[in-house]
Amino acid sequence: MRLDDLEESQHIEDRRGGSALGGRSIGLGTIAIALVAMYFGVDPNLILNVVQQVQPPAVEQPASNTAGQDPATKDPKVQFVSKVLWSTEQVWQDIFTRGGQVYVAPRLEIFTEATQTACGQGQAAMGPFYCPADQKVYIDLHFYQELQSRFKAPGDFSQAYVIAHEVGHHVQNLLGTSEKVQQARQQARSEAKANAYSVRLELQADCYAGVWAHHADQAFRILETGDVEEALRAATAIGDDALQKQAQGYVVPDSFTHGTSEQRVHWFQQGLHTGDVNACNTFKGAV
Nearest-angstrom CA–CA distance, 85 and 122: 20
pLDDT in tens, the chain (287 residues): 999 999 999 999 999 975 444 333 333 334 434 444 444 454 444 444 444 444 444 444 445 565 555 554 589 999 999 999 999 999 999 999 999 999 999 999 999 999 999 999 999 988 999 999 999 999 999 999 999 998 889 999 999 999 999 999 999 999 999 999 999 999 999 999 999 999 999 999 999 999 999 999 999 999 999 999 999 999 999 999 999 998 999 999 999 999 999 999 999 999 999 999 999 999 998 88
Q: Are 87 and 220 a contacting pair, CB within 8 Å?
A: yes
Q: What is the pLDDT of residue 68?
A: 52
Bridge partners, residue 131, by sequence: 136
Beta bridge partners of 64: 14
What pairs with residue 137 in β-bridges? Answer: 108, 130
What secondary structure letter does DSSP report for 74?
A: S
Question: How long a stretch of residues is the chain?
Answer: 287
pTM above 0.85, yes or no: no
Question: Partners of 109 in the beta sheet?
Answer: 13, 138
